[in-house]
Amino acid sequence: MSVLLLLPFLAIISGYLTARILKRMTPGVNYLLAFSGAFLLSIIFFELLPELFASGAPHIGAALMLGMLLQIALDYFSKGAEHGHIHQDKSSEKFPLALFISLSVHALIEGFPVAHSEHVLWGVVIHKIPIALILSLFLIQSSLSTPKQLLFLLLFGFMTPLGTLVALYIPELTPHKPFINALAVGVFLHVATTILFESSKDHQFNRIKLMVILAGALAGYLI
């Protein structure tokens, strides 16, 4: 698991390098985003939710709802960056602190269930690649200097592994693991469902997008 913890960080780096090559949004990015949303949603339904409810832990439903509400609050500050839609001011040269904090809280929370499932880890990694690509395109096209862009991405990339390390090495959190994992699943649910609807123009699904979503759902089931 220690080596695999580098994967979310590498997903951020690969997204940034790809953005440097592409320079702009392409239809392929939206297809990758749709695949990642379906893949994540599949893991939620086939693995995470059954495990949570089978645990018999109390307040799972409340934690799921709280996670969704938390992500809605984070969306207010990130302007939708967690699901691929960034509506920030590109002309500012200031470090986008609100965007960074909201993304970091999201990434930190999603690191908790990764500590107990490599399947979730792959779901997070596949989810992060298109998000990192879109975020990198925004940063590259903004007025931020390259050092600030790299600082933003490097710190953001560290947050998911940090969440996993906290879950693994702080024993005081162990009794609260089901509640925290349910909170994370609520965050995942909001993000994944929003991706599936917002990745399509006017919320319409063309044939390619439908096939991509089905492929993502099947991949999540098989893994």
Quick one: which H or E segment has residue 155?
helix 146-169
pLDDT at site 71: 93
Residue 135 CB burial class (10 angstroms; 0-12, 13-18, ≥19):
buried
Centre a 10 Å sphere on the Cβ of residue 200 and count the other Cβ atoms it contains: 17
Q: What is the mean pLDDT of each successive set of 10 residues along the chain, which is 223 residues long?
A: 73 89 80 91 93 92 96 86 67 77 92 87 89 87 86 91 92 91 95 80 69 92 85
**Contacts for 126 with CB less than 8 Å, ≥ 6 apart:** 11, 35, 36, 39, 40
The answer to the question of residue 85 being in a domain is yes
The answer to the question of residue 1 being in a domain is no
The answer to the question of residue 206 being in a domain is yes
Alpha helices (runs of H) in 79-206, residue ranges in sequence order:
97-114, 118-141, 146-169, 177-198
pLDDT at site 137: 86
pLDDT at site 78: 82
Q: Helix, strand, or coil here: 190? A: helix
pLDDT at site 87: 60
Q: Are 106 and 71 in contact (CB under 8 A)?
A: yes
Structural domain boundaries enclosing 94: 6-222
pLDDT at site 28: 81
pLDDT at site 89: 60
**Token output for 202:** 């006017």
pTM, 2 dp: 0.88
Nearest C-alpha neighbor of 40 from the set 179, 166, 186, 164: 186
The answer to the question of residue 202 being in a domain is yes
The answer to the question of residue 113 being in a domain is yes
Q: What is the tally of structural domains in the chain?
A: 1
The answer to the question of residue 30 being in a domain is yes
The answer to the question of residue 55 being in a domain is yes
The answer to the question of residue 129 being in a domain is yes
Quick one: which H or E segment has residue 9?
helix 6-22
**Token output for 211:** 């096939």
